Structure 1
Amino acid sequence: MSNTGKDGVITLGGREFKRVRNGVDEAEMAVFIDELIKERDELASAKHHIASLTKLAETTIVEADRMAAQIKAETSEQAKAERATLIDEAEEQARQTAERKQAEVLEIANKKANAIRSEAEKEAPMLLESAKKKVWDELRNAVNQQFNYLLEEMESLKQRAAAAQTDFDSKMSHPAEESSAITATSDEESGAAPAEIEEQTGTAVMDLEKEADAATREEGQMPDQSPEPAEVEDQSETGFDLSRLLQSEDWAESGEPQFEVEILPPIHMTRIMEVVAHLDQLPEVANTEIIPRMDSPSILVFLRQEMNLVDALQSIPAVAYVEEVTTDVEAGNGESTKEPRKVRIGLSGNTMPQQKK
C-alpha cells in the first residue's frame, strides 16, 4: 500500500482520502471498509460456489468414468454375444450349404453310378456270354483234338491187336506132321504171342489212360464233349480182355444218365473240374457231361454199374455240401428211370445252408 500525499488528500490502496485535522475522514473510511467486507463476502461466496462446482465436476467425472466402464463392459459383452451369434449363424449356414452341396454331389454321383451300372448290366451279359462262348469253344476244340487223337490211337491199337490175334490163330493151325523143331518153335511162338499181345496192348492202353488224364487236367471237361473210353482194369489183377478193349469206345453211348448233379451258386470252375475229374476216375462211372447254365450248371453222370454217388461226392475235397433230391419219378433199388436221380452239391469255400450230410 503506497501513501501518496497531496495537499489535503491522502491515497490509500489506490483510494484518496481527505485529510482532516485529526486524520482521515471516518465516514469515507467506513464506506471503504464496507466495500471491502462486501467484496470479501462476494469472494467467499464465489469460492464456495467454485468449490461446489469443482466437487460436482469431480463427482460427474467419477460417475462418467463408472458409466463409461459399465457401458464399455456391456458393449463388450454385447459384442461378444453378437459375434458368437454371427459365428453360429455363419457355421449353420456353412453346414447347410455343405450338406446341400454334398447332397447335390451325391445325387449327381448316384445318377452317374446308376447310368454306369445300367450300361454295365446291359453289356455284362453280352460280354460274359461272349467270353464264355470263347472259352468253351477253345476248351471244346482242345478236348476234341485230344479225344480224336486218342480214338486214332485206339483204332491203331485195335488193328495191331487184330493182326496179332490173326497171326496167333495162323500159327495155331499148322499141320501136326511138322518136324519136332518146327513144332517146338511153333509152340514157343504160340505161347509167346498172347503174352506179347497182352503186354503191348496193356502198355498202349496205360499210355492212352495217362494221356487222357493229362488232357483232362490241362484242358478240363466240356459240357458237350464226346465221351471218353472207359478205364481198363490193370492186367496184373484181372488179366487182359481183348473183346472188352474192342468195345470200350461204345461204353459211353449206352443208356441215359443215371444222375444229374446240380451245382449250387456261387460257381467255381476249378472246383467243378476237380469234381468231374474225380468222378471220371471212378471205375463205376462210364463218363460225365457238363450242362452249362449261368446260375446252376449240372453234371450228368453215366454209370457203368450201380454205385452210391452221394457217398462218392462226399469224399471229394472240392465238395462241401451234398443233398439228394427226391422226385416222384425216382424208382426203388437205384434202378434207372426216365429222369435221372438228382443230387445238389455246394462247392468248398462257399457259404452253404448246412454241412455235408
Structure 2
Amino acid sequence: MKHDFIQLDICDDSNTPKYKQIIDSITWSIKAGKLKSGDKLPSINQLSFDYYLSRDTVEKAYRYLCAQKIIQSIKRRGYYILDDSGASEEIKILLLVNDFNSEKKTIYNEMIQKLSNQATVDYCDYSLFKKIVKGNLDGYQYYVIMPGFESKHQEELNELLLKINSEKLILLDTKLDQLANCKGGMYQDFKEDIYNALVEASTLLKKYEKLILIFPEDKMHTYPADIIAGFKRFCGFNQFKYEIYNDASCIDPKSYKKSAFVVLEEADLVTIIKNIQLSKMKLAKDTGILSYNDTALKEVLAEGISVITADFAKMGQIAADMILGQVSGLVKNDFHFMSRASL
C-alpha cells in the first residue's frame, strides 16, 4: 500500500531529537498495525514538507531505519516497510490514575491479565507523568488516563493530554469534550448511574424513613457533583426525606434510627459502623448502609456491606481490548446495585 501521508507524533517541545521522533513514530505505527510489510512510505521530500522538517532530519531517520532493516530503499521507487515483526513486540503502556486505591488496582490487574505477555503496564504519579509528557512521549505506545484530579492539577492535565497523539490515548471513568477523538474511552454517567442503582435498591430502602448522603466536598475531583443531583432526583421522585453531610463525624448517632446512609468514603463508612455498634443498633433493622463502589473488604465488613458500584474489572478489560484493537470508541461502563446484609 502506498502512503502519501503518514501520521507522525512530532512535538516541538520534546527533548527527543526530531529524527528520533520520526523513528519512534514509524516503529509505533508498525506495532499498532497501521504500517505493514510492503507498504510504501512518503518520500524524504514529502515527509519534510508535511511536517516542516529539514530534509537531513528525515534522511537521518530513514537511514537509521534502513540500517535496522525495518525499512528498505529501492532505487527509483522509494522507501518500503521491510519488517513488521515489531507488531508482535511487547507494548509499553503508561497508566495514570488520581489515586491508586483498591478500585484502581483492580483496573491495573485486569489490564495486566488481559494483555498477558503482550504488554507491560507502568503506573506513575502525576509529577512523573508531567516529566514524561514534556520530555519522553515516545517511550510509550499507549497512555491510559483516569482524569479526576484536584482543580489545581486538572486544568494543567487537560493541556498535557492534548500533547499526546490521540491514537495513543485511552480515557477511563470520565469524558473530556476536548479529547473526543481519542483512541477510546470508558465512562460513567454519574447522575444517571446513582439514580438507576438507587431504583434497583428501592425495595430495601423503603423500610427507612430518611436517606442520608455523606458527600465529601473536598473530594469533588473524585466524586462529581452529579452524584448529588442523581441522589436528589431519586429522593424527589420516590418521596424520600433526605439530608446531605460532608462527613459522618458531624451526624448525631441518635439520628441514625430509621435512616439509611449512602456513603462514598471508606473513612465515613468506618465511622458509621462504629457509631452503630456503640449505640447497640442493628444493621438492616434499625439503620442501613449503602456504600459507593465495591471492594473486597466490603464483602466481609459487618457481614457484608451493600454497594452501588461501577464495574472496575470490566473497565480494565475494556482498556486492554482497546489497546489490542478489539474495541474502539466510547463505551458506557456498567453500574449496579449489590445487595448484602447492611440493608
TM range (shorter): under 0.3
Query: Quick check: which has more Rg, 1 or 2?
Result: 1
Hey, which of these two has a bigger chunk of helix by percent? Answer: 1
TM-score (norm 1): 0.17
TM-score (norm 2): 0.17
Indicate the structure whose relative CO is greater, using CA pairs within 8 Å and at least 6 residues apart: 2
